[in-house]
Amino acid sequence: MMTPIDYKRELETASKGMIMIHDHVLLIKLLVRMIVRKARLRHAGMILYEPSRDAYVLEISRGEAGARIPERFIRFEREHPLIRIFYEREFKYLINNRNALVFDDINHLIWRESILGSDNGSRELLHKVGDLMPKLNSIACVPAFYRHQLLAILLLGEKQDGSTLEQDALDFFAALASDVAMAIRNAQLFEGLKREADRSRNLFVQTTIALGSAIEAKDSYTHGHTERVTGYAMMIARHMAAQGDFHVPEKFFENLYIASILHDIGKIGIPELILTKKAALTEDEYALMKTHPVRGAEILASVTDFDGCVAGVRHHHECFDGSGYPDKLKGGDIPMISIIISVADTFDAMTTDRPYRKGVSREQAVEEIRRCMNAKYHPAPAAAIIELFQKGKI
């Protein structure tokens, strides 16, 4: 003899699980699978409202192969009898007593409507839904409302042992459907917020790229420098991560990408005469040039979205042995983003022609980085760019 189902406990368990899932399709898949298993049904399915199409689609179907309906095979418009019987207020009284539309009740409901002399079209609607339910292999349909909006319809197939669905089971499914509607609405809101965040993030990245272009517009001799440094930095970081050289925190690559684009943003505050000077800089001019990491960090510090990038910009001229600037940080005190940008920046600077000197070959640049490992450059990103060069990837 099968153990009776503790519907109250199952409802509490399912409700707790819903809070943790923001993907409403995944949520429904898990719930329908749970319903089939726990209630011992031959199949169950869920019709979901799709706002973009203003229609209802059989999104999920689980259970025995011969009983379940192909997913997304059926679409119902608002005018469809199965939708109207739940959606239109004048027909909601038909399911009030059971919290569901049960196939075995339909003939009785039609007879009752005839006795009462109802002329609102309920009998015709019931006839059409009664014809449809066997085609959906469903013995009961349970609506899921958020406020007055019909968000879903739970389709329940026959029980595996052929027994009927008792009222306590229907009450459980009705309560579950109510929680499902709330969860779907919450998931849809979460997805909407995520889309807005993604849209804002795309705008933010585009603004970042525009800022990077502003730097290059001021210094024509470094045209393409920002793009190349960003490309090298991302390759170095991915190689280091693949080698297991460091743990990649959340959003690390996004912050590295943005910091790489903006690593020289502070040069906006440096006079063009210094930036484009064809001779070596004087001591005073070099001192002014060395202020650009701090200027850059100050520019970005006032913008919340740049929080993860400020340190990378400020410290990309620090050296592993503490001889760099602006803060003479040493070894592990230098942020990971900064040490990666430092190697990428140096490699591009050495291999690019400048007003005051010709660039060197990539072989020479890599050899110089190798020579200065553990002194000027952190060994991990230095080793990474050497290996990338040896493999012909840069």
Q: What is the pTM of this model?
A: 0.52
- Supply the pLDDT for residue 93: 81
**Could you tell me if residue 271 is left (phi over 0), alpha (psi between -120 and 50 degrees) or otherwise beta?**
beta
- Cβ(52)–Cβ(116) under 8 Å? no
Residue 55 is inside which H or E element, if any? strand 55-63
- Supply the pLDDT for residue 148: 80
| Residue-range domains of the chain with CATH | 7-191 (3.30.450.40), 206-390 (1.10.3210.10)
- Supply the pLDDT for residue 77: 92
Using CA atoms, how far apart are residues 291 and 8, in angstroms rounded to an integer?
Answer: 66
Q: At 121, is the secondary structure helix, strand, or coil?
A: coil
- Supply the pLDDT for residue 345: 93
97, two tokens: 């007593």
- From the number of C-beta atoms within 10 Å of its C-beta (0-12, 13-18, 19+), residue 130 rates as middle
Using CA atoms, how far apart are residues 348 and 359, in angstroms rounded to an integer?
Answer: 9
Q: Tell me which amino acid residue 63 is.
A: G
Buried b / exposed e along 22-33 (16+ C-beta atoms within 10 A): bebeebbbbbbe
The terminus-to-terminus CA distance of the chain in angstroms comes to: 70
* Mean pLDDT split into 10-residue runs, the chain, 394 residues: 59 55 72 82 88 87 82 87 87 80 89 82 90 91 85 89 84 80 70 62 66 63 76 91 76 87 81 77 88 86 73 93 93 93 93 79 93 92 92 85
Using CA atoms, how far apart are residues 150 and 157, in angstroms rounded to an integer?
Answer: 21
362, two tokens: 């990539």
- Supply the pLDDT for residue 33: 83
- Supply the pLDDT for residue 328: 95
Stated length of the chain:
394
199, two tokens: 């849209």
Using CA atoms, how far apart are residues 255 and 250, in angstroms rounded to an integer?
Answer: 9
- Supply the pLDDT for residue 198: 65
- Supply the pLDDT for residue 191: 67
- Supply the pLDDT for residue 333: 94
